Structure 1
Amino acid sequence: MLPSDLGVHLPNLKYLRLGINHFTGSLPASLANATEIYSLDISFNNFTGKCASRDWKALPDFLSFDTNQLTATTAQEWKFVTFLTNCTRLRIFDVQDNMLGAMLPSSVSNLSAQLQVLYVGYNEISGKIPSGISNLVGLTQLQLSNNRFTGLVPGSIGMLTAASIGVQGNQLTGLLPSSLGNLTRLLNLYTENNMFEGPIPTSLGSLQDITMATFNNNKFTGPLPTHVFNLSSLSVLLNLAYNNFVGPLPPEVGSLTKLANLYIAGNNLVGSLPDAISNCQSLIDLRLDTNSFNGSIPASISKMKGLAILNLDNNALSGAIPQELGLMDGLKELYLSRNNLSGSIPENFENMTSLDKLDLSFNHLDGKVPLHGVFSNVTGFLFDGNLALCGGIPELHWPPCLQNSKEHRKRKLVPILKLIVPIAGILFCFSLVLISISLKKKQKAQSISLAEFCLMDDKYPRVSYDELLQGTNGFNTNNLIGKGRNGSVYKCSLPLKNTITTVAVKVFDLQQSGSSKSFISECEALNKIRHRNLISVITCCSSSDSTQNDFKALVFDFMPNGSLHRWLHLDEHTSQRLTLAQRLNIAVDVADALEYLHNSCEPPIVHCDLKPSNILLDQELVAHVGDFGLAKVLPNPASEQQVDSNGTMGIRGTIGYVAPEYGEGGQISTCGDVYSFGIVLLELFTGLTPTEDMFRDGLTLQKHAENAFPGMLSDEEAHACTSQGVKNAMGDINKVMLSITKLALSCSKHAPIERISMRDAAAEMHKIRDNIV
């Protein structure tokens, strides 16, 4: 802590720079007596309490309180800004990344006309952006991001001369003001993660010096803004992703000749990709996925020699993959999945030595999978859903290709077909009748068998398809509360024990490959478990729907607070956040659930798909682990090493959370769940998913977390952070994060043998929680 009389003993102090240390406590009010102070920097410490709210006798030029734990919850506690209006030479004012709440006072508009930098981002500030902020005529950088600002961006903002404006990560609504076009010196504009709507103003076409603009994750509508595409100064990033833009990708996109990164994913775009896009010779990263583009992939894309990432996933592209793409020596990642592409994989892809990620899954490709070059080690390559592929390296498990060419086989089969086809047609029709009868009998028998499996005794009430249909209002989308790989979950009202009870019904999509096996796996696992932190199954339904198609569903207790994923990510604008104590309790709940599955079940159960969307929260925010569709019941402890992680349902788990050994064909074991728990723990306390765009070039969530605490992960400090001293310190957040990070990294080590057991992880999690909460 700093001495309270610091300013008294150093009245002539001019420069006080304490940044990037571990200071705690409050900022001494006596600093106001240091009348000669010119520069004050306390950034990146752990200062707490209120900002000094007495009149400054000094006239500082530089004030940085960046990244501390300073608070302001009322207008009175923001009064320090009013006192700073006397500082006529103030150039830099930085209070970002603290715990400042309430409304930004209007007196911020009366700060020095010399003010060049105003950073208040990464706080909890609410209310509207003060319209008088335009009085700060000398402002070059304005950062209001990641707060809770609401309402419109004031039109007066166009009166500034700023080079960088950031309003991203708030709850701002309405149209972007056209006055932004007056900011002719603007270099960077950040508006993402708000609720802006309507078209992007045409006036932005006047920003002739802009290098970066982000509009993603809003509600912008209309066609793509050609006036923005004509801004040839854009060189770093243009992000228009995840809005409601419609229409084609206009040829004006070719004007972005200096741009390095272009993201237009997640819109409603249609039509063919224009050849003009090949004019973007500086592009490194191009993402057009999750739209409805059709036609063929332009071969001219290969002219973009610097392109490292090309993502065209989830469109309606057709035709063959252009051979020319194989000439792109610098391409590292190519995503073409979930289109209508046909033909074979170009053989010259073997020569793309820089390619380390290739996703061609769920197309209509056929022929031979190349063997050599980059295809000799296909880690990171995906081909699923192309049923006519053959060959490739043995690890792919594709059927071998026949030796004869297609033309040779065709000539050889023609005379045989002339004889066989008429006979086969008659036999085929007859066979269809027999198969239909057989299938109906088999489905009926299977349904009865599964029903008997689920309804083993009277503790499971019997429910019919009609009751579920009525309770969900015909499986109405208004009752849809979740959707996964194998089906959908609905809110349902059922008459149970003579009362109407709200439950959750998971309806399996039996058209999806593996759903029936997932239903059986989940029934088998849920029938063996009883624990307060595991989802409780009420019953199941295995019968036929109104069209006599097979129908399978599971009925669970309803969890009113939804999934942990929703709390961590989807509802980021809600006023209700998880507290530190709630996060610790959730982590303990999940640890207890897994420890029970691994050590108290006989035989043990491996969940295989732990992630925040499979962790549900009840009325009291108690966590319940659910979705046992990929769970594996181990016959006995010794058999853990005999269960292959690859099967008819593919790798068990979700990308980012699945243990690395599963992706390499390793064996299913409880170690895999421990890894997933470590990743969930990091996500719970950092708010970052393991698949964030920032995690590339070797950076992972684990390394990011480890880097956040450099040099702090010693055994001595880990012991200190779980001692009674932490409890007495009212739960020091940094020490909590230190303990959590150490535990999560111990769980998520790459090698299974290096991970701690779930029993030890649960015990450690209890120790952290009990010494903090």
Structure 2
Amino acid sequence: MLSCWSTMTMITFSLSTTSAGNHTDQLALLAFKSQISHDPLRLLNSWNTSLHFCQWQGVTCGRRHQRVVKLVLKSRGLAGSLSPYIGNLSFLHTIDLENNSFHGEISSSEVLGRLLRLRVFALGNNSFTSELPSNFSRNLESLSLGRNKLSGTFPKQLCALQKLKTLRLASNNLTGSLPYDLGNLSSLQFIDLASNFLEGGIPYSIGQLKSLYFLGLDENMLSSKLPPSIYNLSSLWTLGLTMNRIVDRLPSDIGRTFLPNLRELFIGENHFFGPLPSSLFNISTLEMLELSRNGFTGKVPDNMGNTQKLQVLSLSHNNQLGSSGHSDDLKFLSSINSTVLRVIQASDCQLSGILHKSLANISFTQLEELILSGNQISGIIPSEIFIKLPNLTILQLSDNFLTADNSFTGSLPVEVGNFEYLVDMDVSNNYLEGEIPNTLSKCLSLRQLSLMGNSFQGSIPPSFSSLQGLKFLDLSQNKISGQIPMFLQNQSSSLQYLNLSFNNFEGAMPTQGIFQNASAFSILGNNKLCGGISELQLPACPIIKQKRFGKHQISLGLKVAIGVIVSTTVLAALLSGRCWVMRRTKNGFSPANSIGKGHFGSVFKATFHEGTEPVAVKVLNMIDHKASKSFMAECEALRNVRHRNLMKILTACSTVDFQGNDFKAIIFKFMPNGSLENWLHPIRSDDSYLTKNLNLSRRLNIAIDVASALDYLHNQCETPIVHCDLKPNNILLDEDMVAHVGDFGLAKSLQRKNSNSGTTDTTSSFSPRGTIGYIPPGRRPTDEEFEDGLDLHQFCKIALRKEVMKIIDPHVLEHEEEEEEEEEANDDHRDIHLNNSEIQRSTRHESGKIEECITSIIRVGVECSMPSPSERMEIKNALKELLAAKKLYFS
């Protein structure tokens, strides 16, 4: 079939302007194109007779002979098989088809053997299923076939490639043992064979690779001891042996004699035993040290002063690591002298002693994670941990012998909100006072919170309504006042135990949720409470009696209405003055101050007085008859809601201008980082840098912020609110890149289903309003790719069945990815030097976890955009999934 096709093709093309060799290249490229079954970006549309093949996308020709020297179609979403006719591209020195969906067999050894000039062969992150090819040109310098489904053993023929510098075969199905001749690859600098099924030992000849800086053999079945020659690799930066079956000791002089340039040592989940050599910490270049889940014994060396570049120290699950009750087991912590240290993991060992104040010394300012649970640590928790470690987000000290009473004084620092992954917080029986910081609501992973036995005052922060995972809350024996918040009775809350005893609460008791079970909560010592369930035996709440007003009765509802009217009148008078000040300010609403435009008005940046904080003023376009309705809808929606991820209304005004026309405006807190839309799709060329800073971590945080706001609106408000126009234009970012949902001009209030009243929740019955189609991060629904029935939902759903990494916006992983440097198109040979960026990119970042995290996020998006509303994931479940993805990403 293919030969007939080639014959017909030869008839079509003119031979008058090309040599035979050139024509061979053209036919080979067209044969390659014929095997492509999916080209979502339509890149191969340029591969036609109207252009010379040297001008086709992805094709580079040499200047002298006009022959194809490079074929680079990396990350283009291509699917299909690899045509054997690439063997006819006899001048080819680089082929890069990584990160696509090619499948089937890689071309036969006979085909690859004809590419005598080949230096770079990169087909990683596809779905090839053949055995690993072996017949390559001796000029080959880089072989990248990782993340495929290749099988078979490691070919001995590869050991003859004297010029090979980079070998990437990770995440395949390779079996058998490593050949002894591996040491013959004398030019090898980088080898990654992780996540295969290799067994046996590491060959002694590995010590001959004097240029090797990266050796990745993680997640195999390698056993026996390490060859002593491996410690002679003086150029080695990264040694990855995690999750194997190696049984060995570390040499006592490892840091004095061997591996002088080692940056990353990953030997966790093996069978290493014996003491940790103190010389290991003489290696001044160490950045990551992962020794967990082994059998190390004895005391942790406390001579870590040379490890000034150390970022991660993991010693967990070495259950004999410690000095059996000696009080100085934790001395190693104070010996660390690294200003970039981020993670200390030493759980489930035998460490004893007490936590010293020096733990919070000046060098630990970047510490994000401190895990010391499951040891024999005693004493009190130093208060300096909370004060001097501003970036600490994970603190685990459970299963030790620490006391709970620490004699803390003063107020609870607002910085406690920085502990995003805090699960359990107990500061009971101290001398803390002041108000409970509302920043605790940022600790979305919080499950248990005990503040009992202090002197906290004020009310329970309304922001606590965002702590949907909270199961245990003890606020007893304080001075907290006000009414018990109604959000605590929310039926969707996970709260299982609540202790509010001996405070100053007053007013009516809630009767729903946890307050239906008298054994699940306690309110003793609050003498001003009334009502509640009958088991409490509280006095009935007083009924406001009607009073005579002349000859008429004034009901409580009418009194409230009168109060509202009076206060609204006064407020209107005040606001009219403020509006007048804004209108008379020179150039107050000029186009130069415009920062956005919505359905029914424009938004301007403004200040009321010189030196004050700027505000955002949404001025309604009263020419549109729907603007007034939008104004009322937005005020109605936001008047009783409070959430850190909702735009905060500072005030509003409704008056007339100098011409007697209606004037309505809403004043919000100013968001200095603008809208999410501007970050995802910059309009001006000078804004293009914005997307580069919006990496996966920031995007995930923004998604969690938005989901938290929607969960609050849907499930935690007394009257559920549906936004009806959620899109990146309506998501604003503050100075800390925290997202706030705004523009409630189309919002709709709903009634919850109530069997007594007969009202129903109409969430699924009303038609969406606002912008047609959801405008997501990355591709828009109007992308040219979406046609013939394909939409964004289907696009992502299909990717879940294949590989989601191929549809990701390149900016998402920019901190780990780098565009390949373009080299001059010529036929001259040159060496491929690995730059520092590639070295950093190639080190032990958890790409598998990142992919799993992204897969979870895409799955949430797909399930939240199902065509039928009944099939869509509830927002509270979506929020949990996103939080789980975030925890995975930062693990």
TM (norm. structure 1) is 0.52
Distance 1:720 1:363, change over 3 A: farther
Structure 1, residues 204-239: CA drift from partner, whole Å, max 9, x if none? 111001111111111112223557555444343211
SS in 2 for 1:39: strand
| Matches for 1:670-709 after TM superposition, within 5 Å | none
What is the letter of the counterpart of residue 341 of structure 1? I
Larger radius of gyration: 2
**Counterpart in 2 of 1:170?**
196
Indicate conservation of the 8 Å contact 2:210/2:233, yes or no: yes
Structure 1, residues 458-499: CA drift from partner, whole Å, max 9, x if none? xxxxxxxxxxxxxxxxxxxxxxxxxxxxxxxxxxxxxxxxxx
**Counterpart in 2 of 1:131?**
156
Shift of 1:151: 0.8
**Counterpart in 1 of 2:450?**
397
Distance 1:309 1:45, change over 3 A: same
Structure 1, residues 127-177: CA drift from partner, whole Å, max 9, x if none? 101011111100010111110000101111111020001101111111111
| Matches for 1:414-425 after TM superposition, within 5 Å | none
Distance 1:660 1:264, change over 3 A: farther
Indicate conservation of the 8 Å contact 2:390/2:418, yes or no: no
Indicate conservation of the 8 Å contact 2:194/2:219, yes or no: yes
What is the letter of the counterpart of residue 317 of structure 1? L
Mapped pair 1:307 → 2:337: no
Shift of 1:257: 1.1
**Counterpart in 2 of 1:36?**
67
Aligned equivalents of 1:278, 1:727: Cα separation in 2: 55
Distance 1:37 1:378, change over 3 A: closer
Alignment counterpart, residue 122 of structure 1, candidates 147, 158, 179: 147
Distance 1:660 1:762, change over 3 A: closer
Alignment counterpart, residue 368 of structure 1, candidates 406, 409, 420: 406
**Counterpart in 1 of 2:283?**
256
Shift of 1:331: 2.4
What is the letter of the counterpart of residue 90 of structure 1? L
**Counterpart in 1 of 2:242?**
216
**Counterpart in 1 of 2:391?**
354
| Matches for 1:404-419 after TM superposition, within 5 Å | none
Structure 1, residues 538-569: CA drift from partner, whole Å, max 9, x if none? xxxxxxxxxxxxxxxxxxxxxxxxxxxxxxxx
- Number of equivalences: 485
**Counterpart in 2 of 1:624?**
none
Indicate conservation of the 8 Å contact 2:429/2:453, yes or no: no
Aligned equivalents of 2:801, 2:139: Cα separation in 1: 36
Alignment counterpart, residue 94 of structure 2, candidates 50, 55, 62: 62
Aligned equivalents of 2:874, 2:344: Cα separation in 1: 45
Structure 1 residue runs of 5 or longer lacking an equivalent are: 403-512, 515-603, 610-628, 631-637, 649-655, 673-696, 700-708, 765-773
Indicate conservation of the 8 Å contact 2:101/2:127, yes or no: yes
Indicate conservation of the 8 Å contact 1:155/1:179, yes or no: yes
The sequence identity of aligned pairs, in percent, is 21
Aligned equivalents of 2:177, 2:286: Cα separation in 1: 30
Distance 1:607 1:89, change over 3 A: farther
Aligned equivalents of 2:341, 2:799: Cα separation in 1: 46
Aligned equivalents of 1:236, 1:218: Cα separation in 2: 20
**Counterpart in 2 of 1:345?**
381
Structure 1, residues 360-397: CA drift from partner, whole Å, max 9, x if none? 22322122274555765463475859898756685742
| Matches for 1:489-528 after TM superposition, within 5 Å | none
Structure 1, residues 16-36: CA drift from partner, whole Å, max 9, x if none? 999998348899999899982
Indicate conservation of the 8 Å contact 2:781/2:791, yes or no: no
Distance 1:723 1:117, change over 3 A: closer
**Counterpart in 1 of 2:315?**
288
Alignment counterpart, residue 367 of structure 2, candidates 306, 331, 343: 331
Aligned equivalents of 2:707, 2:792: Cα separation in 1: 41
Distance 1:401 1:671, change over 3 A: closer
| Matches for 1:227-242 after TM superposition, within 5 Å | 229=255, 230-242=257-269
SS in 2 for 1:246: strand
Aligned equivalents of 1:759, 1:209: Cα separation in 2: 59
Shift of 1:668: 13
Structure 2 residue runs of 5 or longer lacking an equivalent are: 324-328, 441-448, 456-470, 473-489, 498-510, 522-699, 718-735, 739-775, 809-854, 876-891
SS in 1 for 2:78: strand
What is the letter of the counterpart of residue 104 of structure 2? A
Indicate conservation of the 8 Å contact 2:311/2:343, yes or no: yes
**Counterpart in 2 of 1:426?**
none
CA RMSD of aligned residues (A): 5.4
**Counterpart in 1 of 2:80?**
49
| Matches for 1:608-627 after TM superposition, within 5 Å | none
Mapped pair 1:190 → 2:190: no
Shift of 1:716: 6.4
SS in 2 for 1:132: helix
Mapped pair 1:144 → 2:173: no
**Counterpart in 1 of 2:103?**
71
Shift of 1:747: 8.2
Mapped pair 1:22 → 2:37: no
SS in 1 for 2:229: helix
Indicate conservation of the 8 Å contact 1:171/1:194, yes or no: yes
Distance 1:277 1:25, change over 3 A: same
Aligned equivalents of 2:512, 2:862: Cα separation in 1: 22
What is the letter of the counterpart of residue 107 of structure 2? W
Which protein, 1 or 2, shows the higher relative CO under an 8 Å CA cutoff with sep ≥ 6?
2
Indicate conservation of the 8 Å contact 1:718/1:742, yes or no: no
Distance 1:192 1:213, change over 3 A: same
Indicate conservation of the 8 Å contact 2:74/2:98, yes or no: yes
Aligned equivalents of 1:362, 1:125: Cα separation in 2: 45
**Counterpart in 1 of 2:353?**
319
